């Protein structure tokens, strides 16, 4: 194995000196065991794991963990002392920021999750992750609350416990978070949907536990929520979602969705024609001109036998055009858009809590237009069902906390939602 190559040639200008020294130490320790290209790649992987919290396939993680023995311990020890001073110095600032009744509780580690590469059980950057638990946590793995992991250098972390105010959750780590639950949805879908509605960023981090079990940890905006364990990654994710729902229910309001959409009427194509076929108004220019010429209403002709209402299209069908699309089809598109806009405007003016539901008779092209117009009005739209049973629903955008406040005024329930108060008392 050739060792006649210069390690320092791989140092980049932007690389941190401290990081480079550790990476160089790694390469020097194994220079006689690997080829130049392979060792440089392994060293970069080692640095990515140690400094950036990156994750790689299990075999790679185990291999790098073995190679890191005898190389990284001194660096972690130095970093541990540095972090201790930082944590102690910022304790008062953290206490001042968090109002209400709270206390810092030292969370001891029960290091039962040591695997072949327990030092690499993190998949998020240490500088970005805030280790805060939601209520009293006894969930496994306990390593989710402690810190002998490399990114904390073995420093003890703390969890923040707060009493929940039943009328306001703004002082909790996630602020006015509202959990949305649906009996027909999977727990993972409920967590993802709640995150989207509340505009928080979810993270699903996977580790390996005892006996090669899989561990999933859920973070919202880098705040630890809950963890779950299972024989497979899929099962650990499901258990983590179930645990997260239970933890969030303790401190935050939940809204049970009884119906995906609610309306006492479904809009059909005939309803759109009714919008367009309204009686011509008195200030219409054409109507005024007719009256100036002596028209008094009714049908035209010597005996008044003419039609009394203008000719209108009874139905609108949008075909797939392609090259050489006829002008008449383009006109149909514009007419249809106008009718949809008019119907949406009327619905918004009604100030109703019901959703705007379009029947399944509309074609794919027509549904696309409805989606576009809903977006123009800053509304949400979604299609439900399959094939001929597919309905398009337009929703008004409502903030989660507004839904909670509305349900409180209604006694906790509406046609579409049911309010669930935090389960944790005090």
**Rounded to whole angstroms, how far apart are CA atoms 314 and 273?**
7
Average pLDDT over residues 221-246: 91
For residues 219 and 253, give the distance between their C-alpha atoms in angstroms, rounded to a whole number.
18
Q: What is the mean pLDDT of residues 154-179?
A: 57
pLDDT in tens, 334-390: 888 888 888 888 888 877 777 888 888 888 888 888 899 888 888 888 887 777 778
Query: What's the rounded Cα separation, in Å, for the pair 348 and 344?
Result: 6
Sheet of strand 214-220: strand arrangement: 202-208, 214-220, 223-230
- Sheet (strand 417-420) strand order: 178-181, 253-257, 417-420
Instruction: Please tell me the distance from the alpha carbon of residue 325 to that of residue 116, in angstroms, as a whole number.
Output: 66
pLDDT digits over 120-162, tens only? 433 333 334 444 444 444 444 444 444 444 443 444 444 433 3
Region of poorest pLDDT, from 13-22, 24-33, 277-286, 394-403:
277-286
CA distance 392 to 378: 16
Distance CA 125, CA 152 (A): 10
Calculate the alpha carbon distances from 230 to 78, 115, 156, 217 in Å.
35, 15, 26, 12
User: Mean pLDDT lowest for which of 12-16, 122-126, 223-227, 319-323?
Assistant: 122-126
pTM tops 0.75: no
Most confident of 8-17, 196-205, 281-290, 354-363: 196-205
Q: How confident is the model at residue 170 (pLDDT cuts 50, 70, 90)?
A: low
What confidence tens digit (pLDDT) does each residue in 251-266 have? Answer: 899 998 887 666 666 7
- What pLDDT does residue 306 have? 58
Structural domains for the chain: 7-68 (no CATH), 99-253 (3.30.160.20), 258-276+329-395 (3.30.1370.50)
Q: What is the pLDDT of residue 232?
A: 92
Q: What is the pLDDT of residues 85-102, one digit of tens each?
A: 434 444 444 444 444 434
Res. 1: pLDDT tops 80: no
DSSP state of 153: T
pLDDT reading at 314 higher than 70: no
52 with 46: CB under 8 angstroms?
A: no
Per DSSP, 14 falls in state: T
């Amino acid at each position: 194995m050739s060792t006649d190559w210069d390690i320092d040639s791989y140092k980049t200008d932007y690389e941190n000196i401290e990081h480079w020294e550790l990476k160089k130490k790694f390469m020097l320790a194994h220079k006689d065991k690997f080829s130049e290209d392979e060792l440089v790649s392994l060293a970069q992987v080692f640095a990515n794991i140690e400094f950036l919290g990156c994750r790689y396939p299990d075999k790679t993680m185990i291999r790098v963990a073995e190679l890191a023995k005898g190389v990284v311990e001194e660096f972690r020890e130095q970093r541990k002392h540095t972090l201790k001073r930082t944590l102690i110095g910022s304790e008062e600032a953290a206490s001042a920021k968090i109002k209400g009744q709270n206390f810092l509780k030292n969370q001891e580690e029960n290091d039962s999750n040591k695997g072949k590469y327990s030092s690499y059980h993190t998949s998020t950057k240490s500088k970005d992750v805030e280790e805060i638990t939601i209520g009293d946590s006894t969930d496994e793995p306990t390593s989710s609350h402690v810190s002998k992991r490399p990114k904390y250098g073995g420093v003890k972390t703390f969890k923040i416990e707060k009493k929940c105010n039943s009328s306001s959750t703004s002082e909790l780590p996630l602020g006015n978070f509202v959990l949305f639950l649906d009996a027909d949805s999977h727990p993972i879908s409920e967590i993802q949907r709640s995150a989207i509605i509340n505009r928080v960023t979810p993270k699903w981090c996977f580790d390996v536990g005892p006996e090669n079990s899989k561990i999933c940890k859920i973070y919202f905006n880098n705040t630890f929520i809950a963890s779950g364990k299972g024989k497979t990654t899929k099962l650990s994710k499901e258990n983590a979602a179930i645990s997260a729902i239970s933890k969030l229910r303790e401190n935050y309001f939940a809204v049970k969705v009884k119906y995906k959409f609610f309306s006492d009427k479904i809009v059909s194509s005939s309803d759109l024609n009714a919008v367009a076929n309204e009686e011509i108004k008195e200030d219409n220019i054409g109507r005024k001109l007719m009256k100036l010429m002596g028209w008094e209403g009714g049908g035209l002709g010597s005996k008044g036998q003419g039609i009394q209402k203008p000719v209108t299209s009874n139905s609108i069908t949008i075909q797939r055009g392609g090259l050489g699309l006829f002008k008449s089809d383009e006109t149909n598109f514009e007419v249809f858009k106008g009718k949809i806009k008019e119907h949406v405007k009327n619905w918004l003016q009604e100030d109703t809590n019901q959703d705007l539901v379009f029947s399944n008779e509309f074609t794919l092209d027509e549904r696309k237009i409805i989606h576009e117009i809903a977006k123009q009005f800053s509304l949400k739209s979604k299609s439900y069902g399959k094939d001929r049973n597919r309905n398009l629903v337009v929703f008004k955008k409502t903030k989660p906390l507004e839904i909670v406040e509305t349900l409180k005024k209604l006694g906790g329930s509406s046609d579409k939602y049911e309010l669930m108060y935090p389960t944790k008392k005090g």
